[in-house]
Amino acid sequence: MQDGNAAMGLWKDWRLHVIVLAIVIVTELIGTFSIKVGPGVVLLLPMLYALGIGIILYFTPAVKERQSVNAEPIIVLGVSLLLAKIGVIIGPSLPEVIAAGPALLLQELGHLVTILIALPVAIWLGMKREAIGMTHSIGREPNVGLIMDKYGMGSPEGRGVMAMYIFGTVFGAVFLGLLSGLLATITPLSPLSFALASGVGSGSMMAAASGSLIAAFPDLETQIVALSGASNLLSLSSGLWVSIFIALPLTEKLYGWMTRKKEGY
């Protein structure tokens, strides 16, 4: 009954819907900007503007406590729609993923390394179960949905994955855009290997990374776009299964073992 009242409050909150619509219109009118920084390219996307405008409005009279509370279920709705879109994309594209070869399959094992590095650091910094949501993945839409389904958005794990989702939205594209262009130009590795590595499961991060590579190696544009797209598609399709059956259980086990060791049990 309480959930039903909350849902009714959401749909009747005209102020919230007007604010969201205004933010969407403004950010889409601004569009995407690319800034060349050395060998890398920084992409400024509408999602980034929307996040910034929303944070600013939170500290103004335009957004009251009621809007903040009513906005929470929208996250669940938005993630559900994104997961449905991902599912629709994955089905017809399975032959492309298979044709991309075993190199793309091996990249999923690399995603598990982040757990071994990030989780101990998070625990060392004093974080509790938030560390599970923060470190089991890079925290994009499918992983937000996974944590939301298993623990709930208001749980420590939910707060952790949302923190990484926001952090990745603000800094992820900038970081990968600069890193891919820099490494591809100063290391002897093929730029196509960095195209494969750019598909981490985030469209904005992939676009920033592949954009930097294309700016540095314009003659390889077709191959870079094809490989980065296939890599990102695989991360979206198989990455969630890796998180469900390997990454999240592994993070839970390691968290339990590390906290027991830390507390002297």
Residue 220: DSSP 8-state: G
Structure tokens at 85: 């879109």
pLDDT at 249: 92
CA gyration radius for the chain?
Answer: 20
> Given pLDDT bands bounded at 50, 70 and 90, which one contains residue 131?
very high
Instruction: Please tell me the predicted confidence (pLDDT) of residue 94.
Output: 61
Task: Give the pair of three-digit tokens for residue 208.
Answer: 């920033």
pLDDT of amino acid 2 = 44
Residue 250 Cα to chain centre, angstroms: 20
Count of Cβ atoms closer than 10 Å to residue 79 Cβ: 21
Average pLDDT over residues 235-243: 78
Q: What is the pLDDT of residue 29?
A: 92
Average the pLDDT over 27-53 and give the result.
Answer: 76
pLDDT of residue 255: 93
**DSSP assigned state of 246:** I
Q: Give CA angle at 192 (219, 106), nearest 5°.
A: 160
57-66, 105-114, 179-188, 231-240: lowest mean pLDDT where? 105-114
pLDDT > 50? residue 93:
yes
pLDDT(62) > 70: yes
Residue among 196, 199, 210, 205 at smallest CA distance from 236: 199
Which amino acid would we find at residue 104?
A: L
Q: Which residues pair with 44 in a beta bridge?
A: 33
Question: Binning pLDDT at 50, 70 and 90, where does residue 130 land?
Answer: very high
Q: Could you tell me which residues come within 8 angstroms of residue 49 by beta carbon, excluding any fewer than 6 positions away?
A: 26, 27, 30
What's the rounded mean pLDDT across residues 74-101? 63
Report the C-alpha gap between 44 and 57 in whole angstroms: 20
CA-based diameter of the chain, in Å? 62
Q: Write the DSSP symbol of residue 140.
A: -
Q: What percent of the chain has pLDDT above 70?
A: 77
- Average pLDDT value for residue range 73-86: 66
List helix spans (H) across the chain: 2-12, 14-30, 46-58, 65-99, 102-111, 113-124, 130-135, 141-150, 156-167, 173-186, 191-197, 203-216, 221-242, 248-263
Residue 50 has pLDDT above 50, yes or no: yes
